[in-house]
Amino acid sequence: MRFFSRETKKQDWLTLSFHSDGVCAASVQRSPNAKPKVLAAAFHPCQPSHSPELLEKLGRELRAAQHHCSTLLAGGEYQLLSVEAPNVAQNELKTAVRWRLKDMLDFHIDDATIDVLDIPADKNAAAGRPHSMFAVAARNSLIESRQGLFEEGAIGLSAIDIPEMAQRNIAALLEQEGRGLAMLSFDEEGGLLTISAGGELYLSRRIDVNLAQLLDPNPNSQHIYFDKITLELQRSLDHFDRQYHFVSVSRLLLAPTGATGLHEFLAQNLYMPVEVLNLADVFDLDAAPDLATAEAQQRFFLTLGAALRVEAVVL
């Protein structure tokens, strides 16, 4: 998923993501038959975080010119919508999707940058049966502003990503062949549930519980949040089973949060196995010892996922 790209000769990715209290930067190197290696992971406090001066400093320190560079949009900066795939030629796809989105966005379609991502259909379904695809829409002004910020910071920006695809990138390395994988993460904006199979994203749901609420020391409040998460998971998993009956979800992976009790609560209340993810199971962290704690892994989770990006032919 990308809103734009530029040709570049570099192979590895450096991703910079903006948070309310600063900027996360992470670079990852992929190697055949080995875990992806985290080359660097750094958090720089800064308010406001959208600072070209800080980007320029990070670009020098992390040798941005030696990498593809990407950034992540925050949850409120774009809309991810599921639409029926238009029956048109590939070169007409985005135009057709744009037409379908015109009444679905909370801003005018002429002000939107659009990208699309196919959702694989059931291989045993009748030929010509309609299937769905994801459409991502962001305001032109926001995309242009983000491009301008990186230009001011003297960093060549190759791609703009979204959290769903960053999370999918990590899930793709942990899937079991022929089975779907549900993954749940939390940050300052809330929870994100994704279901993927065969390296493809099938479902995405936002959950209105954020990291600060998960870390609430009040056990009564925490129980309310856990109940809310469980109910949303049950509804989403039931919906997925009805919509994509040809994909069998084997387990739910809970991304690092630093919160206590959530894993046990979900394991007791969901019908599928629930496991806690340690990023050391995905990445070679030898060059990033600061990522040993769950708290650090939570902060860098989506940034590292975006840095796992692999360029491919885009619809």
pLDDT for position 7: 44
Burial class (CB in 10 A: 0-12, 13-18, 19+), 283: buried
User: Domain 175-276 belongs to what topology?
Assistant: Nucleotidyltransferase; domain 5 (3.30.420)
pLDDT for position 153: 96
pLDDT for position 48: 81
Burial class (CB in 10 A: 0-12, 13-18, 19+), 81: middle
The torsion angle over the Cα atoms of residues 52, 57, 62 and 63, rounded to 10 degrees, is 90
Of 259, 208, 202, nearest to 231 by C-alpha is 208
Indicate the class that CATH gives domain 75-139.
Answer: alpha beta
pLDDT for position 49: 80
pLDDT for position 124: 77
Cβ distance 157 to 172 under 8 Å?
no
Token pair belonging to 144? 């242009």
Burial 230-245 (b: 16+ CB within 10 A, else e): bebbeebbeebeeebe
Cβ distance 202 to 180 under 8 Å?
yes
pLDDT for position 81: 95
Q: Rounded CA gap, 94 and 116, in Å? A: 7
Beta bridge partners of 194: 183, 204
The model carries a pTM of: 0.93
| Mean pLDDT in consecutive groups of 10 residues from the start of the chain, 315 residues | 46 92 95 93 89 93 94 95 88 89 92 93 74 94 97 96 98 95 97 97 97 94 96 97 94 95 96 97 95 96 96 47
pLDDT for position 122: 85
pLDDT for position 3: 52
Contacts of 238 (CB under 8 A, 6+ apart): none
Ramachandran area for residue 168 (φ above 0: left; ψ -120 to 50: alpha; else beta): alpha
